[in-house]
Every structure is written in C-alpha cells, then in structure tokens.
Amino acid sequence: MINTALVSFGMSGKLFHAPFIDTNHHFNLVGSWERSQKNIQAIYPNTKSFESYEEILNDPSIHLVIVNSPNDSHYDYTKRALLAGKHVVTEKAFTVTVKEAEELDALAQKLNLKLAVYHNRRYDADFLTLQKLIAEDKIGAFLDIQISFERYRTTLSPKVHKETNTPGSGVLFDLGPHLVDQALLLSGMPSSVFADLRTTRKVGKIDDYFTLLLYYPTHRILLTSGMVFMQQLPAYKIYGTKGCFIKDRADVQEDDLLAGKKPNTPNWGLEHKEKWGVLSTDTDGKISTESIPSLAGNYGTFYEKMAYAINHNEPVPTSAKHGTDIIRILEAARKSFAEKKVITLE
C-alpha cells in the first residue's frame, strides 16, 4: 500500500485526487493538510487532518505527497517533499519557471524518487477518442489542429490566488497546461510559439484569455482558452490528409464528481451519445461523415500508472521533463506576448 497525503483538500483534492486514490487498492489515503476548515474526515473517516506540512514530511509512514496547492508554491512544497524522501505528484502547472522545473527534475533523479506532474485531461473521453482515431490512421498526416477550453464566467473566482497577480496565476497557467499537454502528446515540441494574452473581464486583474500558435514543419496547432465564451464552439477540430474530427468538450467526469459520484462505478466516464464527435472522410471526392462513439474517460488511469511506477520502478505517467517542456512553452508564450513576436524554442 502506498500511504498518500494531500497538501490541500480544496476542490482539487476533493474532486481530482482523493476519490481516485481512495478507490485504488494500491493506495491508502492517510489524510490532508487542512489550514482552516477540517473537512477530509467527514468524507473519509479513516483519514487525518494534518496541522502543518512539516507533520506530513516528518511522518516516515507516508510514501507519496500530492502537491495540489497554488501554482507559486509548487516548487517549494515539491522540493521539501523530495528532500524528506517522499515520492511526489505535483499538480499542473508543474512550476512557474523552467529553472525551477529543471531543478526539481534533477533532484528527484539524484534521490531516486518518483516525481510526476498531474495532467488529468489527457484521460478525458474527448482526447482518448481522438488518440484512438489517430492510432487507426483515420485522420492521416496532420494539416491543422485547433483545441480550445472555453468557459463563460464573468465574475471572479472565489479562489483569491487564482485572481491575484502572482507568479503562475492567470488562465495561461491554469488551463494552458491542459491544452499544451495534449498538443505535445499529439505532435511533440514545436519549433516556435506565438501568443496573444488578454484581460477581457471588466473586473479582471490577470490574463483570462489566450491564443497560442504552435509551429511545426508540416502543420500548426492553435490553442485557445478564456472566460468570456457565452456560446462554446467545438473544442477539437483536427484536420488531416485522410479525414477531420470535430468534437465538443463533453467529458462527464468533473460534473459527476461534483455531483458526488464515485469512480469505479458502472458506466464511469461514459458520454451521452449526442455528444459524440463526427469523423469526416473523403473517398474519391465524396465526403462522408459518421458519429464516433466516445471511449470512457478515466482520470483513475493516472493513479494506476503512478502505482505501477512506484511499485515496479517504472516511468511515471507524466514525467517532470514533460512538465518542464510545458512550462517552457508557457514561458515562451509570455515572452512572445511581451515582445509581440514569434519566439523560437531551443
């Protein structure tokens, strides 16, 4: 059993970590550091509410620490956990600078500890289905890829750290890591990046909109996110030499978790039929379309892979190097916006 503790039991801990740790037989959810409200024991009676981070780090029975605190604390909390001899899962965005990310990666390797970055959206039904079509060569060589993560929220988040101008705040470092992670899984590192960042809400203090253009030798990937999209267009528009796949963002897992549903129940992660994507293909000049059944989404796959990595000394589901590459692109995006030019990646 991998004894596991959370750094926070807010929305991230309650929805995206604790349910999947608790329902995985490889893990034992020990508890969470809770600064003011003490909630974890009401949901998981056999857990503990830690009074401080030091209490977690000094507990020799804890093997794995989940760093799911605000972005600008990831570097410090992750480093301290590694130095305490713990394996670590750090929430996205991994860090706020490439320098911090590279240091943590090197430290984990030096100490022979497992360090993973939590990227759950690669296990969305949408993206899993897209990857299946690519593996079946239904798309062909990429010509153009457009992925968006749009919301409509005109008011500020009650989470103060998300709306304050601090390192790692803003939608670029909040939703941006999800989109960049998927872009890297599809096409690897781009040669260069161009970015536009905006503050669109009247009450906003930080970036709440971005467009990133990633350049590849044969195609482009356009990533868009923001908080002012009253009507949302399809989130995935993938154009290739053999076909195109158009799909709404429709993974049900977050909504089900908010409704109190538990993972590993029948039909977990299954989308409604009306949300399935459409594949279009051209056969001798005749375009045909078909609805593609969505695969079941499952964020629990991350923890299955993490358990295997720890127990069998295998690679983690999302490496620190991959997490660092994502921060490299986000850093380049901010530089691109500041200098109003395309930034070449080394």
- Give the pLDDT band (50/70/90) at residue 161: low
Res 284: pLDDT: 86
Each residue's pLDDT tens digit, 212-240: 999 999 999 999 999 888 888 899 999 99
Phi, psi of 267 (to 5 degrees): 70, 20
Q: What percent of the chain has pLDDT over 90?
A: 87
Q: Where are the domains of the chain?
A: 2-119+302-315, 121-296+329-344
In this predicted structure, the answer to whether residue 264 has a pLDDT above a threshold of 90 is: no
Q: pTM (2 decimals)?
A: 0.95
pLDDT in tens, 178-217: 999 999 999 999 999 999 999 998 888 889 999 999 999 9
Helix residue ranges, H only, the chain: 11, 18-22, 40-43, 53-57, 74-83, 98-111, 125-135, 160-163, 171-174, 176-187, 253-258, 300-312, 320-339
Cα distance between residue 134 and residue 291, in whole Å: 16
Q: What per-residue confidence (pLDDT) applies to 156? A: 75
Nearest Cα neighbor of 86 from 111, 59, 63, 58 is 63
Q: How confident is the model at residue 162 (pLDDT cuts 50, 70, 90)?
A: low
- Helix, strand, or coil here: 65? strand
302 pLDDT more than 80: yes
Nearest to 346 by CA among 128, 96, 98, 170: 98
Name the phi and psi angles at 86, rounded to 5.
-100, 145
Q: Identify the pLDDT of residue 285.
A: 86
pLDDT, position 160? 66
Do the domains at 2-119+302-315 and 121-296+329-344 have one common CATH topology? no
| Cβ proximity of 1 and 61 under 8 Å | no
Three-state DSSP state, 319? strand
pLDDT surpasses 80 at 311: yes
Fold of 121-296+329-344: Dihydrodipicolinate Reductase; domain 2 (3.30.360)
- pLDDT band at 100, cuts 50/70/90? very high
Return the pLDDT at 155: 78
CATH number for the domain formed by residue range(s) 2-119+302-315: 3.40.50.720
> Over the chain, what is the mean pLDDT?
95
Phi, psi dihedrals of residue 56, rounded to the nearest 5°: -70, -45
- What local confidence, expressed as pLDDT, does residue 279 receive? 98
- CA torsion angle 160 161 167 171 (round to 10): -80
Instruction: Tell me what pLDDT residue 151 has.
Output: 85
> Is residue 23 scored above 80 in pLDDT?
yes
Q: What is the mean pLDDT of residues 327-336?
A: 98
The mean pLDDT value for 286-311 works out to 97
